[in-house]
Amino acid sequence: MKLTRLAFVLLFMMPVASRAAGVPRQPVEATLTLPNASVLPGVPFDMTVTMKNVSRSPVSVGISAGLIVTLADGTKITPKERHILDPQISAHPDTWIQLSAGESRQWSIDWHHFTPSMFHYPEFSGPGTYDVTLDLAANKLEAPEDYVGAIVTSVARLTRAVTPGEDEALWKKMVAATDGKWADDSLANSKEGRHILREILQIHPASGYYPYALLLVWWGHTFGVRNAVH
């Protein structure tokens, strides 16, 4: 009877001991979501980051984001460019932000703030499935004492698929125009891409690429990107 009772106590304590010996819980949970889980090949994508302080004390977290894209074969693409999460606060130009205990904040990352830097990579522009994460960090020389260190967000799955017909024909033209090296920023940042951009606007209004082309032109006119349509 005593042995049975001892075994029961040990069995009950095992999960507790395992949790105690495990990796400490991060004070901040960072969740990455994609407003559109599926996009056309060769089109940049928006991202949303939600960070929550799950600790009982105020902490500072980095808001300088680096993109990490994992290909189907496990290869990781890590553009060297980084971006300060939006909305940026003009009165707080630092690379970190403080979250009070239990506080949650959300940032929306628009693709046009990344173009042309982070989307100048043909490796994750074509059809396929990709795992996307963000590395969030701060300048260590500026970070306060309660800085939690670098954090990697949760994984968001991105699917790129092209529908048969007009979109498929355009995608093939994009790939052929760049010898298979079409990147998400090529419509605005290559001679061949700007030619295809004009073609989409003039004779492919029913294409899935048309709304993106229209937005790209609007953005170019608004923010002075001269080569977007010329």
What the chain holds in terms of domains, given with CATH numbers, is: 28-160 (2.60.40.10), 166-228 (no CATH)
Beta bridge partners of 31: 50
pLDDT single digits (tens) 174-192? 999 999 999 998 998 889 9
Residue pair 156/132 in contact (Cβ under 8 Å)? The answer is: yes
Give the SS3 label for residue 173. helix
For 124, which DSSP code? G
Q: What is the mean pLDDT of the chain?
A: 84
Tens digit of each residue's pLDDT (9 = 90 or more) over 62-115: 999 999 999 999 999 998 888 888 765 555 568 899 999 999 999 988 876 654
d(CA 82, CA 60): 19
**Residues in contact with 115: Cβ distance below 8 Å, sequence separation at least 6, in sequence order:** 44, 184, 185, 188, 189
CA distance 29 to 154: 8
**Residue 220 has what pLDDT?**
59
What is the spatial distance between Cα 181 and Cα 123, in angstroms, rounded to a whole number? 8
- Check residue 24 and give its pLDDT: 57
User: How are beta strands 96-99 and 82-84 bridged, if at all?
Assistant: unpaired
Q: What is the predicted pLDDT for the residue at 215?
A: 86
Tens digits of per-residue pLDDT, 128-147? 999 999 999 998 888 899 99
The predicted-structure confidence for 1-46, as pLDDT tens digits, reads as follows 454 554 444 444 444 443 444 555 789 999 999 999 999 999 999 9
Instruction: Kindly state the DSSP code that residue 147 receives in the 8-state scheme.
Output: B
3-state secondary structure of 93: coil
Q: Are 225 and 218 in contact (CB under 8 A)?
A: no
pLDDT at residue 225, rounded to an integer: 45
Q: How do residues 196-221 score in pLDDT, each as one tens digit? A: 999 999 999 999 999 999 988 876 55
